[in-house]
Amino acid sequence: MRAELFGTLPDGTQVHRWTLERSGVRVRVLTYGGIVQSVEVPDWEGQAGNAVLGFEDLAGYLTHPEPYFGALVGRYANRIARGRFPLDGLTYHLAQNDGTSSLHGGEFGFDKRVWDAEPVEHGVRLTRVSPHGEEGFPGRLEVSATYTLDGNGALRMAYEAVTDEPTVVNLTNHTYWNLSGSGNAGGHELRLAASRFTPVDADLIPAGELAEVDGTRYDFRAAGKAGSGYDHNFVLDKGVTDDAVEVAELHDPVSGRVVTVATTEPGIQLYTGGHLSAPFAPGDGIALETQHFPDSPNRPEFPSTVLRPGDVYRSETVYGLAARQKLS
């Protein structure tokens, strides 16, 4: 494991890149936005290749911030309707950076911050303090995100946070997977352990219904082509769990590469990259964002995202990385 200077922001702040390597897998993580820049994993023939979308230099991320390539997003991943939410009798107003909604923490969320970094065994721990009122969210939030590789080369992301005032927290990683290394990812085979999903309105805000996937294009309980046109939250059958449980698998039949997703979270946002633009094209990457549901602060019937003083927010997601022999 090593760190190196990756670039410098316009204000002079240095950005470093950490390289994690174990069991044939190499992962590069930036202190800017907690970004996973690359995940190199062998294909079925043993040839290593990058399985995620990213840029070679810092300028690429500064020029193309909106798709959140590989980023750690927060304070609240996904959308909060009308950029506001009630909590303990007060209404908090957030930055509206996606139409009238607040998306992925606002205009200057965690994905655009430089994190402190320190080495841990087989990985790196990123930390920062989000001050009270940042992007409109209440409470001083102390956050850590620890990225490690286990003995099998699986990438583990463990998040923790504490607050001094009641607030809402929903953290995720926004990596776009392309297991072929290039081209359109719509031919990847996807499996999701989700019998329900949350239909959305024109602003991609949940309508409130937990709809059954049976008989719809949202049914990935048996593996099928990922296709296109998805930006939806799937309700994982397992619900919230203390330990990470496998809920998804993405397989590229060309390279043989497979990524499995295990998480403690109750939902997963499937985004098939329909709005990606140059230097990439629509459909070039698939995001599997483990999360609580969109707009949960306004939906008391959804699992709660409220964090109170004295409690600890914990979330864990594990990406298993492997390859299957190509079938003749």
Q: Is residue 186 part of a domain?
A: yes
Does the active-site annotation cover 189? no
pTM above 0.95, yes or no: yes
Q: Please, what's the b/e burial string for 274-284 (b: 16 or more CB within 10 A of its CB; e: otherwise)?
A: eebeeebeebb
Q: Which residues contact 199 (CB under 8 A, 6 or more apart)?
A: 206, 207, 209, 211, 232
Give me the CATH number covering residue 288.
2.70.98.10
Among 134, 265, 289, 316, which one carries the catalytic annotation?
A: 289
Closest CA to 166 of 97, 92, 80, 83: 92
How far, in whole angstroms, is CA 254 from its chain's centroid?
25
Q: Is residue 328 part of a domain?
A: no
Sheet holding 211-212, edge to edge: 176-177, 286-291, 267-271, 231-235, 196-198, 211-212
Q: Is residue 219 part of a domain?
A: yes
Q: Is residue 256 part of a domain?
A: yes
Domain that holds residue 107: 2-323
Q: Is residue 138 part of a domain?
A: yes
Identify the pLDDT of residue 328.
52
Q: Is residue 102 part of a domain?
A: yes
Q: Is residue 37 part of a domain?
A: yes
Number of domain units in the chain? 1
N residues, the chain: 328
Q: Which residues contact 174 (CB under 8 A, 6 or more apart)?
A: 67, 68, 69, 70, 71, 72, 73, 77, 104, 111, 287, 289
**What sign does the CA torsion over 50, 55, 56, 61 have?**
negative
Report CA Rg, the chain.
19
Residue whose token pair is 């294909």: 43
Q: Is residue 308 part of a domain?
A: yes
d(CA 304, CA 88): 13
Among 174, 188, 251, 292, which one carries the catalytic annotation?
A: 174
Does the active-site annotation cover 289? yes
For the chain of 328 residues, list the mean pLDDT of each consecutive stretch of 10. Answer: 94 98 97 98 96 97 95 98 98 96 97 98 98 98 98 97 98 98 97 98 94 98 97 98 98 96 98 96 98 98 98 98 77
